[in-house]
Amino acid sequence: MKNFADFAWKSFMNPKLFIVSTPIGNYDDITLRALEILKSVEFIICEEFKEASRLLSHFQIKKELISLNEHNEEESSQEIFNRIKSGSSAALISDCGTPLFSDPGTLLVQMCITAKIDVVPLPGANSLLPALVGSGFKLDKFYYAGWLSPKSDLRKKELLRLKSIKELIVLMETPYRLKTILTDISKIFGAGIQIVVAFDLTLPTEKFFRGSCSNILKIVSEKNLKGEFVILIDNG
C-alpha cells in the first residue's frame, strides 16, 4: 500500500497552490497533513512574517516566506502566480485559522483557477465551527455575517439589516471592540436577545458566555474582557 510520503511526492509533479489551515491559538491543533505540506512546498505565502515565522519555528520548518496582505495583494499575487505557473508549489496560510475568510488570497486563487493550476484546500482549524457546535443553538441553518464595519454609524446600519434575517447570525470582531459591539447588539436586537460569545477558543482561557445580550455585556464590562471571540445571535 502506498504511504502518504509517496502520494505527497507525486502530488508535486505539477505545480499546486495548497490552502493550509493553521491553529487559531493552540499549536496542537495543526494537522499531520498540514505539516507535511508545509515541509514539502517550495515556499509559503503568509499575511505577516512575524506570525508565520513563529509558527514555522515551533514546528522546526524552514521555508522561504512571501507576504501577501491587504496592502500588497495585487502586486504580490502576480509575482506569486508567476512562480507557481513556472513550476513551483506553494502553501497559502493566514495569521491563524483557515485562509480566505476575511483574509487576502482570493485574487491569487482566482488566477490559479483560471490558469488551470490545481488549488488544494486542506481542512483544519478555524473559529467558526467550534463556536457553532459549542453554542448550544440549533445549527440547521446559520447566516455568516463576518466582520462588521469599524465605523459606528455603518456598523449600526449593518446590524439593522441583519435584524431582518431570521436565522442564527454569526459575527466576528476585533478583541478591543467586544463591549462596543455587544452594546450595539443590545440596542438594535433588544437587551433580551439570546447570544453566545465564544471567547479565546482553543486557549486555556477559552469560555462560552451564554445568555441574554444585556447579561453578557454586564459580565464583559465587569471583567474588562479582551481576547479573540465569535458572537452568535439567536435571531431565528
**R_g (Cα) of the chain, nearest Å:** 20
Task: Give per-residue pLDDT as tens, 200-224.
Answer: 999 999 999 999 999 999 999 998 8
Assess contact for 19 and 41: CB atoms under 8 A. Answer: no
Assess contact for 213 and 185: CB atoms under 8 A. Answer: yes
Task: Give per-residue pLDDT as tens, 60-70.
Answer: 999 999 999 98
Helix (H) / strand (E) element for 54: namely helix 49-58
In this structure, which CATH number among 1.10.287.70, 3.40.1010.10, 3.90.1150.10, 3.10.310.10 belongs to the domain 4-122?
A: 3.40.1010.10
pLDDT at 10: 46
Fold of 128-234: 3.30.950
In the chain, ranges of CATH 3.30.950.10 domains: 128-234
How far, in Å, are 8, 21, 215 from residue 173 at the CA level?
Answer: 37, 20, 19
pLDDT at 225: 86
Give the number of other CB atoms < 10 A from CB of residue 142: 18
Task: Give per-residue pLDDT as tens, 120-164.
Answer: 999 999 999 999 999 999 999 999 999 999 999 999 999 999 999
In the chain, ranges of CATH 3.40.1010.10 domains: 4-122
Task: Give per-residue pLDDT as tens, 174-207.
Answer: 888 999 999 999 999 999 999 999 999 999 999 9
Average pLDDT, the chain: 93
Q: What percent of the chain has pLDDT over 70?
A: 94
Copy the grid coordinates of residue 9.
511526492
